[in-house]
Structure 1
Amino acid sequence: MNNLKKLEIENYKPLREIVFEHLRESILEGKLEPGQRLMEIQLAEQLGVSRTPVRESMRKLELEGLIIMVPRKGAYVADVSTKDISDVLEVRTVMEGLAASLSAQRMTDEELDELEMISYQFKKCYERNDIEGMIEKDVAFHERIFASTRNEKLIQIAQGLREQVHRFRVRYISEYNNSKELVVEHQAILECIAARNSERASELSMKHIENLASHMMEQIAKYSAQENKDPKK
């Protein structure tokens, strides 16, 4: 099992909530990998807490579909099938198009300035080959667009879909041979939103996610093939 750091306890949050958020983040960021077995005692020791908040957190993680409980075997980090990811990206493509269209109509000048700054920061991270920075700013770019739609249901659903593929994002960006295209695509979407061109903003956003989906599926297929060839598997 990957080593997890002991938690820094915050007095204003219940311990079970801190443990849950930490484990959830560890799964989404790939620190706890798909198929990895999770043992209460070991997790509790690594985090420096009792087994009770760990057990409660694992139940919540199971409800979110991030872990699975196998009778007589224990808990495992849920794997995500290729079809699961394909389905999520298919839905996200349409939602990104809708969000960009609404954003072009509703984004304020202040929010537009913020989006422009995020796009600039993403470009700078690319120039420094700062993968973590690129991921952070890519997420911020899309979240800013969704937030400006003022549609709470759309924002909520998009967040859930985004988290389902988050653990594959590092692999996607770090091995994307044409990362500069991401910079260009972000800028083009930004310019359409600034011009209040809803239709074009929608088209470019959908194409942006289609490109992401295509590359991500290629990466997943490649790693699956490598794992199948590995004699240790």
Structure 2
Amino acid sequence: MSELTKKMGRLNFKHTVLVDQVSDTIAQAILEGILKGGDQLVEAKLQEQFGISRSPLREAFRDLEKKGLVVIVPRKGTFVKRVTRKDIEDNFPVRAVLEGLAAREAFSRMTKEELDSLEETFLNMKGAVAKKDGKAFMKHHIKFHEGFIRASGNDVLINILMNLRMHSVWHRFSYQYYKEDFQRSLIIHKKILDLFRNEDSDAQEIENMVRWHIEIALDRFLAYLEEQQSKPR
């Protein structure tokens, strides 16, 4: 291998890392509601903000489009994708089935360390509720679900769910939880944790509990969406 080829390889690696960092930063801003549906991502401003050229920024845009977070309109620009009712109705039922399956597989494979981590994450969720910190609650809520998804050990399932959850998390960050929703969520996650803790639990019961939790979240989110749309503009 020539020195030139080696150098190109190193540059390509650095370029890829840069694209990933820019994509992740913009994605996080969308997930947290800093960038809202319909907002335009202005190339010149972002190039200046990140201190990068047009090429890696446009690659980051294409990555975000694949994840369903932005829409690239030829000759007009790149815009944050608006959440529609269909987006939510398409995503949640599929996620409910697959995440339930992940929980079922995790039950027989989860290590003590993974179980302890799940319990610690639940306690962090509980602490966030006590402080009425919605952002922290969602952070730990995401970690709780990703904890048992990864514990399933099924790489195909993990990869599919990580992509589905990217969309779902985006929807959930748009949802301004009422106080009772936090409490209800804690009760459900405590039940899920207890089922994982109990060696005599039935794997089907764990799968059903996770599926039910996500299906209920869908119903409540759609109700909230309808409420918001019915308000006078």
The TM-score normalised by the length of structure 1 is 0.84
Find the aligned partners of 2:20 and 2:112 in 1 and give their Cα distance. Answer: 37
Show structure 2 runs of 5+ residues with no match: 1-13
Q: Report the structure, 1 or 2, having the larger helix content.
A: 2
Residue 128 of structure 1 pairs with residue 127 of structure 2: no
Q: 1:70 maps to which residue?
A: 73
Q: Percent sequence identity over matched residues?
A: 33
Find the aligned partners of 2:17 and 2:206 in 1 and give their Cα distance. Answer: 43
Q: 1:115 maps to which residue?
A: 118
- For the 8 Å contact 2:42–2:77, the answer to whether it is kept is yes
- For the 8 Å contact 1:106–1:149, the answer to whether it is kept is yes
Residue 49 of structure 1 pairs with residue 55 of structure 2: no
Residue 137 of structure 1 pairs with residue 121 of structure 2: no
Find the aligned partners of 1:74 and 1:122 in 2 and give their Cα distance. Answer: 39
Equivalent position to 1:187, from 187, 190, 193: 190
**1:218 positional shift:** 1.5
- For the 8 Å contact 1:131–1:170, the answer to whether it is kept is no
Structure 2 counterparts to residues 95-174 of structure 1, below 5 A: 95-172=98-175, 174=177
Show structure 1 runs of 5+ residues with no match: 1-10
Find the aligned partners of 2:176 and 2:144 in 1 and give their Cα distance. Answer: 15
**1:41 positional shift:** 1.2
Q: 1:4 maps to which residue?
A: none
Indicate the SS of the match to 1:25: helix
Equivalent position to 1:209, from 214, 218, 224: 214
Letter in 2 for 1:125: A
Find the aligned partners of 2:100 and 2:19 in 1 and give their Cα distance. Answer: 37
- For the 8 Å contact 2:118–2:144, the answer to whether it is kept is yes
Equivalent position to 2:223, from 187, 207, 218: 218
Deviations 1:29-80 (A, max 9, x none): 2222111122211222333333332223223323333222223322211223
**1:101 positional shift:** 1.4
Letter in 2 for 1:213: L
- For the 8 Å contact 2:67–2:163, the answer to whether it is kept is no
Aligned positions, number: 218
Deviations 1:156-203 (A, max 9, x none): 111111110222323436335332111111111111112232121112
Residue 82 of structure 1 pairs with residue 72 of structure 2: no
- CA gap 1:180/1:58 in 2 versus in 1, 3 angstroms: same
- For the 8 Å contact 1:67–1:76, the answer to whether it is kept is yes
